[in-house]
Structures are given as structure tokens and as C-alpha cells.
Amino acid sequence: GFAIAVVSDGEIIYSDAFGARDPAKNLPATTDTLFGIGSITKSFVAISILQLAEQGKLSIDDPIAKHLPFELGRPNEPILIRHFLSHSPGFPSLASSTVLLSRGLGEDTGVPMSSSDDFFRFVNGAKDEIVFSPGEHFFYNNAAWRMLGAIVQNVSGLPFHEYVTENVIHPLGMTRSTFDIDQLYADPDHLTPHRKTADGVEATNFPYPNPVDNKAFSFLTAAGGITSSVTEMSLYLNMLIDAGKHSGGELISQRSMRDMQRLHIREPDGYYGTTGYGFGVGVTPDFLGKLLIDHGGSIAVSTAHMALVPGEKIGVVMMGNSSGMSYAPIGEAVLAILMGEDPDTAVPAFGIVKRMQQLVGAYSVYRDVETIDVVSEKGMLYLQQSGGGQTPLIPEDAAYNSLDFYTLNNGRKSPVNFRVDDDGQVSLIVGRYVYRKNI
């Protein structure tokens, strides 16, 4: 199942749902179906931290070790709360989500993760993993966000999930959104989680532990434990668009929200040039000339994505009950349309897909003596020779604006060039041969 909602000027201007929330019972997905929002939860954590900072209970420039039994860091280079908020602590992902979600799905990595003591033993054992100074390099890091949840818990005196529910979720009128797995399943309109397997897709259980059952370890859900609907998340989008304000007041100040939505650490350039991370949100400064704020979420059994352009007061949120989906291009297309642009030309991902579709097919040389196929798998093009394996085609231009590719053979680049004539006929030059696409 899949659900989507689009907001503009504080109102839902479009919402719909497709497919089934429970295929076994043939129950339809709706715009009120509760899905796991995964890592979109991180922005809720960031708001919680900024609330506590505004109350003077912490500073984002506090060392993590001031609030937690945290032992990582180089001498004279303390890791600060702001570094966790921007995924720049200096150490890479410790795969804590793999440990957690595997256990939730009935598998086991052999790493103990049933208590706060287990968690901090796991983290503090990674002293040799420090590879950058804090604030120097982007490393997406779920363990860091779990520790931010622990800081919220320790500083506020409330279990993490209770603090976020009482101070972020419920003030927005999001009455059904929850961390509580029992509440999720008691709701008459909830997802049936599904995960991909070698044989397809199968129903499974929700992989996050219920924080209600272990309140001292509630912070484990900080990296991605919220479930919500696109209808309720529209309220959240409008608050982000309106710089922290909502119908009942203000979650955080405009100044804090602007800091949250500011670029704090750069990532490799994306389709729209400079891109990076703020506090709990992705930041693209120049999306069709405007600031784009977005974040995805995937927890092995569901996928979600939100995207908003505060300067245009528009946003979109999407959710589905399986993993491995990329909703970002859909969101960008929706926003492009609302900004008066043609998504086929404004959204590079769409152009790339069209280009790849144009090149995929069966090719042959003169008199069909030699043949070769161009196939597409998981966002890559491959040459596939009859009876042989696949050879990846690496684009000279990552945006696929060029028709020039190459293959690698023992470290040596060999050019592979496509050509398209005025009539749309595609040809392929590989070594001594010119192949023409069969019509």
C-alpha cells in the first residue's frame, strides 16, 4: 500500500492512497493508515533537543559526555550535541539499526542490545572507529540519534517516547501517531508490515521494540520509531513550513527552526548541486531556486519520505508498507509541479530514467551476426552478451546528460558510446563494432 498527502498554505490540497494495507485480508490503504515513518523520527528528536536548549536545560554545544556515559572522542576534540544532530561525530555508522531490526525480525547478529548498559558497552567499544574530527565529515549515524534520545530522556526526566509524544506529537493534534506498538496494532487502520525476501515480499512483525515495555531503554526508538499517517504528518509538515508555529502555539522559536533547517555539514553534491544535513533534516539550498528540506525513512518493513519548500509554503509526505522504495523523486516532482515546473525536465531522476529506458534493448551488428543486450538493474545499465555475464556501464556524466560510458577491465577504461540520430534510432559503439538497437 501507498499513501500521499500534499500541503500548500497550511491546507491539504491533495491526498490519496493506493493498494492494500493488509493484502492477506485485502484491506485498502487509506490516508489515515498508520505506517512507520522511520528516520523522519530524527527531526522530532531534533525539535525535542532544541526545546530543551531553549529552556536552558542543555546547550547544543555541550559535550555528549556531559549527559551520557559516552567515552568516544579524541583528546581536546570533544564530540558535541550539535555534531550528533548533524551526523558529523567523526565516527562512522556502528550498524546499531542492523542489530536492532534484525532482532525485531526474529534474526540475531550476536550483539547484546537489551538494555542501556548493553547499548553503551557497544558504543564505547568503538574507540578505534574515530576517523575524523567532529564536524568534519558526514557519517549517517543511527547510534548518535539513539544517544540524542537518551539525552532527551535524562535531561527531561521522562522516558524518551513520552517526552516526544507530550511535547511534539500531541501539541500538533497528531492524536493517533505513536511509538507504542500496542497502540499501533489496536488502531483499526494500521499497516501490515512487509519485508523483501529472496522469494518476494512477505508479511512480518513491526521490528522496533515497544518502548512502553522497557521505558529505561525508550531512547532506542529515537532513530526511527514513530508510526503515523500522511494526514497527521501533514500537520507536522505545516509546522516545519511555518518555522515552528502551529494552530496551538509554537513548538520551537523561529530562530531555532531556521538553525535546524540550515546546512551544517555537506554531503557529496546531488542532482541540484550543494546538498547536506541540518539538524535532523536534509538540506538542499538550491532546489529550483528555493531551499528544499527533506528526509526519508525505511525500517525494513515500511518506507516514508517528506519534502517541503518553506519559501513556497508547500510540502509532500508519502508512506508505504514495504521497504526498498525511493519516494524522493516523486516528492520532488510534486513540488516541481506546484512551483510551475515540468517534472520531466526539472527533476533529474526522471530524465535519467527516461534516458535509461531509451538505451535499454537488444542490439545487433550488420546482418545480425553479433548481438548484445543493454539491460537496467537497480539504477545501473549493463552490457549483457549472449551466454555471458553482465558488465556494468559507468556513465562519464553521473547525471546521464552524456551518452558516453565506459567499462573497466583490469583497471583499464574501455569506452562505450551511444548515439541517437534525428529519427530516434539508437546505436552503440563498443570496440570494433557498431550495434544498432532493434526496433
Tens digits of residue pLDDT in 18-30: 999 999 999 999 9
pLDDT at 421 exceeding the cut of 80:
yes
Segment 187-235, tens digit of pLDDT:
999 999 888 777 777 888 888 888 999 899 999 999 999 999 999 999 9
How far does CA 297 lie from the centroid of its chain? 4
- C-alpha 105/C-alpha 205 separation (Å) is 7
Residue 358: band (very low, low, confident or very high) from pLDDT cuts 50, 70, 90: very high
Segment 29-43, tens digit of pLDDT:
999 999 999 999 999
- C-alpha 145/C-alpha 362 separation (Å) is 48
CB 188 within 8 A of CB 34: no
Model pLDDT, residue 109: 81
Q: Which part of the chain has CATH 3.40.710.10?
A: 2-345
- Cite the DSSP H helix spans in 307-389: 328-338, 343-346, 348-359
Contacts 24+ apart (CB under 8 A), 343-349: 346/288, 347/271, 348/271, 348/272, 348/399, 349/271
CATH class of 360-437: mainly beta
Residue 8: band (very low, low, confident or very high) from pLDDT cuts 50, 70, 90: very high
Contacts of 404 (CB under 8 A, 6+ apart): 395, 396, 397, 415, 416, 417, 418
Which residues is 11 bridged to in the sheet? Answer: 8
- C-alpha 419/C-alpha 428 separation (Å) is 6
State in Å, rounded, how far the first CA of the chain is from the last one.
36
Residue 150: band (very low, low, confident or very high) from pLDDT cuts 50, 70, 90: very high
Structural Rg of the chain based on CA atoms = 24
Which residues is 316 bridged to in the sheet? Answer: 6, 307
Model pLDDT, residue 215: 92
SS3 209: coil
**Cβ-based burial of 335 (10 A; exposed 0-12, middle 13-18, buried ≥19):** buried
| Averaged pLDDT for residues 78-91 | 98
Q: Which part of the chain has CATH 2.40.128.210?
A: 360-437
What is the pLDDT of the chain when averaged over all its residues? Answer: 94
DSSP secondary structure, 95-112, as one string: -HHHHHHHHHTT---S--
Weakest mean pLDDT among 90-94, 208-212, 242-246: 208-212
CA nearest 292: which of 262, 264, 265? 262
- C-alpha 287/C-alpha 348 separation (Å) is 11
Residue 175: band (very low, low, confident or very high) from pLDDT cuts 50, 70, 90: very high
Model pLDDT, residue 153: 98
CB 35 within 8 A of CB 206: no
**Biggest distance spanned by C-alpha atoms of the chain:** 79
CB 318 within 8 A of CB 4: yes
pLDDT at 241 exceeding the cut of 80:
yes
- C-alpha 194/C-alpha 197 separation (Å) is 10
Residue 130, number of CB atoms within 10 A of its CB: 17
Amino acid in the structure at residue 40: I
Model pLDDT, residue 118: 93
Residue 188, number of CB atoms within 10 A of its CB: 7
CA nearest 62: which of 159, 161, 165, 155? 155
Model pLDDT, residue 248: 86
Question: pLDDT higher for 339 or 96?
Answer: 339
CB 385 within 8 A of CB 393: no
Weakest mean pLDDT among 247-251, 298-302, 311-315: 298-302
- C-alpha 242/C-alpha 263 separation (Å) is 18
- Cell numbers describing residue 356: 535509461
Could you tell me which CATH number the domain at 2-345 has?
3.40.710.10
Which residues is 292 bridged to in the sheet? Answer: 284
Q: Cell 577491465 sits at which residue? A: 409
- C-alpha 240/C-alpha 275 separation (Å) is 19
Segment 50-78, tens digit of pLDDT:
999 999 999 999 999 999 999 999 999 99
Model pLDDT, residue 388: 77
Amino acid in the structure at residue 200: G
Contacts of 247 (CB under 8 A, 6+ apart): 173
Model pLDDT, residue 273: 92
- C-alpha 316/C-alpha 237 separation (Å) is 8
CB 193 within 8 A of CB 206: yes
| H or E element that contains 42 | helix 41-54
